Amino acid sequence: MNDDLRLILERIGQYSTRRYQTRYWLQVVNDQYDKTYNFFINIQPKGQRVRSIPLHTVEQYNLSYLEKIINEIQKNIHLSFMYDGFTGQKWPTTQELIQKRKHYDE
């Protein structure tokens, strides 16, 4: 977990430069075909389109492992998370739904 977490945090710091009137959020995608989790940072300056930059792919396909990584990221960096491909799945420790309903592009 340390290598995955370290890489994600480094790359988030590299791309989140706190520009004026710019929105930043993290996107976690469940790739059910490759059995991986993909992390992206989305950047949207005001009045422009969204730019999505891949950060890292987590090879260990385990929800409890993913939950630990996300909890550590939230301790260090205060960005919003958007989840794709997790419809109907629950976090192992809290039993809360990860994603309530599908997004329009899923």
Q: Give residue-wise pLDDT tens across range 44-90.
A: 999 999 999 999 999 999 999 999 999 999 998 889 999 999 988 99
Give CA separation, 1 vs 18, 23, 60, 103, in Å. Answer: 27, 28, 9, 29
For the full predicted model, state whether its pTM sits above 0.75: yes
Non-local CB neighbours of 64 within 8 Å, separated by 6+ positions:
92, 93
Across the chain, what does the average pLDDT equal? 91
| Antiparallel, parallel or unpaired: β 51-58 and 80-84 | unpaired
The predicted pLDDT at position 61 comes to: 95
**Maximum pairwise Cα distance, the chain:** 39
